[in-house]
Amino acid sequence: MSPLRGFASALIALTGGFATTFGMLFKRKPTIEYPSVKKQHAPRFHGLHELRRYADGKERCIGCELCAIACPANAITVIGAENAPGDRRSPGERYAARYEIDELRCIFCGLCEEACPTDAIVLTPRFEMADYRRGSFVYAKDRLLVPPQAGVGTAPDERPNGIPADLGTVAEQKSTVDIATGYDATNRGHILKTERRGLAG
């Protein structure tokens, strides 16, 4: 290539480059201005966990510890206890006296959700868990359990053989409950205030 032609082609290439950057100046920016605008995640996004209840307010968790066994990150601790006959917390024999998930260990794989026989533990699309203390990332029942009015499905103790009839529907309920109506499941403001003073329990 002669020097003159080389110069001309370089000039054309340069013009193209400058035109490209100038054109970008007026394009719509794809940036989501995060704290003020939040992206709507897919309904089945694997985010923060929650413990579900039945429509009558009973806890779904029966303290079987299958989630803790399934968990590849050993993030879940379940300590079950017998239901007292007068004050039944769950429809089964046992309930989770303590249920803790260390969200710093959790890899959000959703195996706990799959292992759960009663659809009690579910991953929600919530993802903003930032905090100042490591201890604050251990979520206990006070932050995991949904409020009683947010329960879904019929408890199996209403049925003779105790087999839940609503398995497999939680995925849909996840989207409807969480995104369409929405509720304040984790009372975070209140809990933060109490927990900043000491480590989480």
Partner 1 sequence: MLPAFGFALEAPWWVEVVVKSLVLLFIVVTTFAYSMLAERKILGWMQLRPGPNRVGPWGLLQPAADAAKMLLKEDLTPQTADTFIYRLAPFISLIAAMGVYAVIPFSESGNGLWSIGDVNAGILFVFALTSIGVYGISLAGWSSGSKYPLLGSVRSTAQMISYELAMTMSVVGVLILAGTTSLAGIVHAQNRLWFVIPQLGGFAIYLITAVAETNRTPFDLVEAETELVGGFHTEYSGLRFGLFFIAEYLNMITVSCIATLLFLGGWNAPFGLTVIPGIVWFVLKAGLFIFAYIWLRATLPRLRYDRLMAFGWKILLPAATLNLMLTAAVVAVTG
Which is closer to partner 1, CB of 15 or CB of 176?
Answer: 15
Closest CA to 52 of 5, 113, 103, 136: 113
Furthest-apart CA pair in the chain: how many Å?
97
> According to the binding rule CB under 8 A, does residue 20 interact with partner 1?
yes
> According to the binding rule CB under 8 A, does residue 2 interact with partner 1?
no
Query: Please, which contacts does 85-88 make with residues 24 or more away whose CB atoms are closer than 8 Å?
Result: 88/58, 88/157
Residues near partner 1 (CB under 8 A), total = 14
Which is closer to partner 1, CB of 25 or CB of 42?
Answer: 25
> According to the binding rule CB under 8 A, does residue 27 interact with partner 1?
yes
Q: Residues 6 or more apart from 100 whose CB is under 8 A from it?
A: 76, 77, 78, 138, 139, 140, 141
Closest CA to 115 of 145, 51, 70, 84: 70
Which is closer to partner 1, CB of 10 or CB of 97?
Answer: 10
Distance of alpha carbon 72 from alpha carbon 118, whole angstroms: 20
Q: Which stretch binds partner 1 (CB under 8 A): 13-21, 39-47, 106-114, 178-186?
A: 13-21
> According to the binding rule CB under 8 A, does residue 18 interact with partner 1?
yes
Which is closer to partner 1, CB of 33 or CB of 87?
Answer: 33
> According to the binding rule CB under 8 A, does residue 24 interact with partner 1?
yes
Residues that bind partner 1 (CB under 8 A): 14, 17-18, 20-22, 24-27, 29-31, 33
